[in-house]
Amino acid sequence: MKQHTSLTVPGFDDVIAAHDRIASHIHRTPVLTSQFFDDMTGASLFFKCENFQKAGAFKARGAANAVFGLSDTDAAAGVATHSSGNHGLSLSYAAGRRNIPVTVVMPRTAPDAKKAAVRGYGGQVVECEPSTSSREAVFAEVVAKTGADFVHPYNDPRVIAGQATCSKELVEDVADLEAVVAPIGGGGMISGSCLTLSTLSPDTKIFAAEPKNADDAYRSFKSGHIIADDAPDTIADGLKVPLKDLTWHFVSRHVADILLATEAEIVDAMYLAWQRMKIVIEPSSAVALATILKNKDQFAGKRVGVILTGGNVDLKNLPWMKS
């Protein structure tokens, strides 16, 4: 089983190589503005719309970089991951583009729609029990049998270099950003943003946005070491996972602050974005906007990039339908 989780810190050269490698497999997503949110915050907000990305989330960048960086020999054995979320979907998309096998280990309790989406991109779903021990055992078996390359959802230098292309496009398209706000879960997007911005735009402050209900990155940041929570509960289901060594490397060095939003604030921001910008964003994306709306003083008068990370939601089960 090949792993890339020892501390091989990617550099900006890796980001340039990644962008060349994945350009034909991803969208250069648009940057939208909103008079409504500018009026509301006093800031000039530039929304990088990764909800329009292939497979519906920024994760297609890192997955494509990992998949298309493999030698033909390694690629023949395929790739594998464990993820019931956007990374599993994106890895299936990228592997499908290269026409190589991909296995996604998912709890048997994951929604059928998520399994179907992975299969829709040509991925093979292998089910495990909904426990860490079962997941690890089943995943090890898959890798032993197939020799597949393990692409971790975020703690992988290839993945971080891929995610870093998002902020690269943003600063190419929008000059003089004084701040960039992105959600933080495992820290792949934030690490990529740190990697790019510290090179291309070192005066841009990087803010991570996290659900208050899953504030392990916030507490890690404040205490100076990684804290991992067991099964935090938040509607922003992409942000439940903990930091790991590689992402901690970037977060601890380059992030200006981590801002928190409550569940109600996340849902309100998501609703407002749908209503006023006419775009479908998932709760994890809304966390970034929510923290700006509640910290207006910090952003007023500034040019602020906001990374809307994805748009994969169950349209038949929206949070504002639940009351």
Stretch that binds its own copies, among 177-185, 205-213, 238-246, 272-280 (CB under 8 A): 272-280
DSSP 2-56: ----SS----HHHHHHHHHHHTTTS----EE--HHHHHHHSSEEEEEEGGGSGGG
Q: How far is the CB of 145 from its own copies (least distance, A)?
A: 32
Contact pick of 124, 219, 279, 302 for its own copies (by CB under 8 A): 279
User: 117, 87 in Cβ contact below 8 A?
Assistant: no
Q: What part of residues 282-321 is at the interface with its own copies (CB under 8 A)?
A: 311, 315-316, 318, 320-321
Tell me, by CB under 8 A, how many residues bind its own copies.
Answer: 19
Residue 163 per-residue DSSP state? H
How far, in Å, are 98, 194, 208, 266 from residue 255 at the CA level? 35, 7, 7, 21
Contact pick of 160, 246, 277, 306 for its own copies (by CB under 8 A): 277
Stretch that binds its own copies, among 75-83, 251-259, 268-276, 298-306 (CB under 8 A): 268-276
Report the first-to-last Cα separation within the chain, whole angstroms: 47
How far, in Å, are 10, 135, 245, 267, 295 from residue 155 at the CA level? 11, 17, 7, 28, 30
112 binds its own copies (CB under 8 A): no
Q: How far is the CB of 247 from its own copies (least distance, A)?
A: 26
Q: How far is the CB of 311 from its own copies (least distance, A)?
A: 4
Q: How far is the CB of 33 from its own copies (least distance, A)?
A: 9
String marking each residue 13-52 x if it binds its own copies according to CB under 8 A? -----------------x-x------------------xx
100 binds its own copies (CB under 8 A): no
Q: How far is the CB of 270 from its own copies (least distance, A)?
A: 10
Q: Cα-Cα-Cα-Cα dihedral of 286, 287, 289, 294, to 10°?
A: 130
Q: Are strands 31-32 and 44-49 parallel, antiparallel or unpaired?
A: antiparallel
Nearest to 310 by CA among 117, 27, 51, 89: 51
For 1, the token pair is: 């089983």
Query: Closer to its own copies at the Cβ: 200 or 318?
Result: 318
Query: Closer to its own copies at the Cβ: 260 or 280?
Result: 280
Contact pick of 275, 296, 300, 301 for its own copies (by CB under 8 A): 275
Question: Which residues are CB-neighbours of 46 under 8 A, at least 6 positions away?
Answer: 31, 32, 33, 170, 174, 177, 303, 304, 305, 306
Q: What part of residues 191-210 is at the interface with its own copies (CB under 8 A)?
A: none
Contact pick of 6, 203, 278, 297 for its own copies (by CB under 8 A): 278
183 binds its own copies (CB under 8 A): no
Return the HEC string of 188-249: HHHHHHHHHHHHHCCCCEEEEEEEHHHCHHHHHHHHCCCCCCCCCCCCCHHHCCCCCHHHHH
Query: Closer to its own copies at the Cβ: 12 or 274?
Result: 274
Q: Which residues bind its own copies (CB under 8 A)?
A: 30, 32, 51-52, 56, 271, 274-275, 277-281, 311, 315-316, 318, 320-321
